[in-house]
Amino acid sequence: MFRTHTCGELRIVDVNGSVTLSGWVQRVRNLGGMTFVDLRDRYGITQLVFDDDADKSLNEEVHALGREYVVQVTGMVAERSSKNSKIPTGDIEVIVKSLKILNSADLPPFTIEDETDGGEELRMKYRYLDLRRTPMRKALEMRHKMALEVRQYMNDQNFLEVETPVLMKSTPEGARDFVVPSRMNPGQFYALPQSPQVFKQLLMVAGYDRYFQIVKCFRDEDLRADRQPEFTQIDCEMSFVDQEDILNTFEGLARHLFKSLRNVDIVGDFPRMPFADAMKFYGSDKPDIRFDMRFVDISSMTKGKGFKVFDDAEYVGAICAERCATYSRKELDQLTDFVKKPQVGATGLVYVKYNQDGSFKTSVDKFFSPDDFKEWAEMCGAKPGDLLLILAGARKQTLSALCDLRLEMGNRLGLRDNNKFAPLWVVDFPLLEWDDNSQRFYAMHHPFTSPKDEDMELLDRNPGEVRANAYDLVINGVEIGGGSIRIHNDGLQNKMFKVLGFTEEEAESQFGFLMNAFKYGAPPHGGVAFGFDRWVSLFAGVDSIREVIAFPKNNAGRDVMNDAPSYISKSQLDELMIEIKNK
C-alpha cells in the first residue's frame, strides 16, 4: 500500500495514529539536529519531521532528498509544538519512522511554488511541472467543477447531451477550417468542427427538443491571449422557443454558475443593451459595464470655432473621468501616447480639466471659451474636479479608440475589479455585415440566423439595416457567448443564401442536407454557445485562457512541450496521396 492518507487530510484528531503518506518533496529544511520536509500531493502539504534525538538511522537518506523527489514515508502523527495556521494540516506533523525514495528527480528548471520564478516559455515547455503548482491545480479544479455544474443545471432543465462528429464537412463560410485528409477517399478532406452548428439544428429537426454538449471546437486562425486553435464550447439548442425563452434559460445557467462557483448572487435581471447603443455609448459590441464612463457625442457643440481637428471630424466624442482634473502633464502625455499607439490609432487627445474652483484648463484654450467648456461639461455630466477626454476623427475609428481609452482609464482608476461581475445581454445585432474587399454581405453571426420579423421586408431593399434575432452574453467586457434564433424554413434559408451571394448550386452542395432536413418538419428553434475556457478564466481571475487549459498551444499554434505540429514521413504522405510543395 502506497498510502493510508493523502497529504491534505490529517488533522489533530489523527494524532498518535500510524500513517503512510506518498508524495513529492516540496522543500527540505535542515536545522542540524532535526529536519523538516514538506510533502506535497494534489490534496495538500504535510510536514514530516526527522528528529536525531528520536532516530538517527534515517540521516543519510534524508540528506539525499532533493526537490520533487517522490517518496513514501511511514510514521506517527503528532501535534506540533509550533503550529502553522496557513495550511489545513498545520496543527500536526508526521514523525517519520521509515522513508522510501520511490523516485529521484532532476532539479526542476523553475520553482514549483504559487509564485513561480518560471517564465511563460519554460512553464509551457515543462507543463507537467507547471501543473503541479497550486494556482494551476485550482484553475483546473475550477474548470472541472464548472463542467459539472453546467451538466447539473442543463440536466435539470431537460437538456440532453449528445456527441456530434469531430470529422465533418468543410464549409468555406466563417473561420478557416482545420482539415484532415481522408486515406480512403484520396484527395478529399474532412474538416474539424468550428462548432457543431448544423448538427445541433438537425437534432432539433430530429425532435430532441433540448440539446447541449461541452465540446471541443477548432478554428485555424491566428491566436490571442483569449483564442486557441482548439477550444471548448458549451453548445446548446432548444426547440419551440423565442429569444426571450432562450435569454431566460441561460440567464439561469449563468446565475447557477455564479452562485455555485463564485458564491455571487447577481441582483436583478441581466441588463439588455441593443447593439446600436453598445456601439454608440461604449464603442464596442462587448462593453465592460462594471463602470459607466459612457461616450458623449459632442460633435454638434465643437464645430465652427476654428479648431480644424474638430471641424474636419465626422465624430467628436468625450468621456468624463471623475476626480481626474488633478492629472499632471506627465499623466496626460502618457494618455496621449496611449491613444496614439498604432493599435489604438487616434491622432491626438484633447483634454478639459474642470477644476475644483470652476475654472477650465484645456489643451484647446485658443479655440474655445470657458462658456463652451461649461456646455461640454454639462453635456457630459461633469462636476468640478472631473476631467474630460476627447477624441475626434472618422466615426468608426474614433469610437474604437475611445473604447480603448475608456478601458485604460477604467484600469487606471481601479474600476475593473476582478472580483466584481457585471453581466450584460447585447441584443439586436445586425444580420449582415458588408465586406468591401469581396463586395458582398457576410452573416454577422452565421448564415442560419433569422432576421427580426419587423425587419423582414428590409431584406430585399436594404439588407444592411436588417436586425437579427441574435444576442451575446458579455461579462466584464468579455464575450462569453452568443447565439440566435435560427431560420427553420427552407424558403427563408434559401433567400438568406441568395443575399449572401451563394449560387443555388453552392448552397445545395454545402448545405443541401440541412435544407433537405428543413423540408421534413423543422420546429422553430434557437440556441447559444458559450466559450467555456473564457468563462472559466473569468471566474478564475486570470488574464489568459492558457491558464485554464491543461496543455495549450503557444501564440504560433505550437505545442512547445512536444513540438507539434511536426513533419510526417514520406510513406504517410504517399498513403494520403499528398505532396508537399516547396516554398
Contact positions vs RNA (CB under 7 A): 27, 29-34, 36, 38, 47, 49, 51-53, 66-67, 80-84, 86, 90, 93, 107, 109-111, 117-122, 124, 173-176, 194-195, 197, 219, 221-227, 342-343, 433, 442-447, 544, 554-556, 558, 560
- Cβ at position 482, least distance to RNA in Å: 9
Question: For residues 164 and 194, which CB has a smaller minimum distance to RNA in the complex?
Answer: 194
- Cβ at position 36, least distance to RNA in Å: 3
- Cβ at position 184, least distance to RNA in Å: 27
CA distances from 277 to 120, 130, 144, 283, 369 (A): 39, 43, 36, 9, 31
- Cβ at position 385, least distance to RNA in Å: 32
- Cβ at position 525, least distance to RNA in Å: 15
Question: For residues 444 and 576, which CB has a smaller minimum distance to RNA in the complex?
Answer: 444
Whether residue 241 contacts residue 255, with contact meaning beta carbons closer than 8 Å, is answered with no
How many beta carbons lie within 10 A of that of residue 322, not counting itself?
Answer: 17
Whether residue 26 contacts residue 7, with contact meaning beta carbons closer than 8 Å, is answered with no
Question: For residues 29 and 498, which CB has a smaller minimum distance to RNA in the complex?
Answer: 29
State the Cα–Cα distance between residues 299 and 376, nearest whole angstrom: 10
Question: For residues 386 and 472, which CB has a smaller minimum distance to RNA in the complex?
Answer: 472
The three three-digit cell numbers of residue 220, written as one number: 485555424
- Cβ at position 378, least distance to RNA in Å: 33
Question: For residues 423 and 482, which CB has a smaller minimum distance to RNA in the complex?
Answer: 482
Question: For residues 36 and 367, which CB has a smaller minimum distance to RNA in the complex?
Answer: 36
DSSP alpha helix (H) spans, 268-312 = 275-282, 299-302, 308-311
The three three-digit cell numbers of residue 32, written as one number: 542540524
Q: Counting Cβ atoms within 10 Å, is residue 171 exposed (0-12), middle (13-18) or buried (19+)? A: middle
Question: For residues 132 and 445, which CB has a smaller minimum distance to RNA in the complex?
Answer: 445
> Looking up cell 503528532, which residue turns up?
78
State the Cα–Cα distance between residues 362 and 319, nearest whole angstrom: 14
Report the amino acid identity of residue 14.
Answer: D
State the Cα–Cα distance between residues 452 and 484, nearest whole angstrom: 11
- Cβ at position 370, least distance to RNA in Å: 38
Residues 6+ apart with CB under 8 A from 99: 50, 58, 61, 62, 71, 72, 73
Instruction: Give the DSSP letter string of 448-497.
Output: TBPBPGGGTTHHHH-GGG-BBSEEEEEETTEEEEEEEEBP-SHHHHHHHH
Size (the chain), residues: 583
Question: For residues 197 and 398, which CB has a smaller minimum distance to RNA in the complex?
Answer: 197
- Asked if the peptide bond before residue 565 counts as cis, ω within 30 degrees of 0, the response is yes
- Cβ at position 575, least distance to RNA in Å: 28
Question: For residues 176 and 256, which CB has a smaller minimum distance to RNA in the complex?
Answer: 176
- Cβ at position 496, least distance to RNA in Å: 11
- Cβ at position 412, least distance to RNA in Å: 17
Question: For residues 108 and 523, which CB has a smaller minimum distance to RNA in the complex?
Answer: 108
Whether residue 67 contacts residue 107, with contact meaning beta carbons closer than 8 Å, is answered with yes
Closest C-alpha to 480, from 246, 234, 260: 234
Does residue 400 sit in helix, strand or coil?
helix
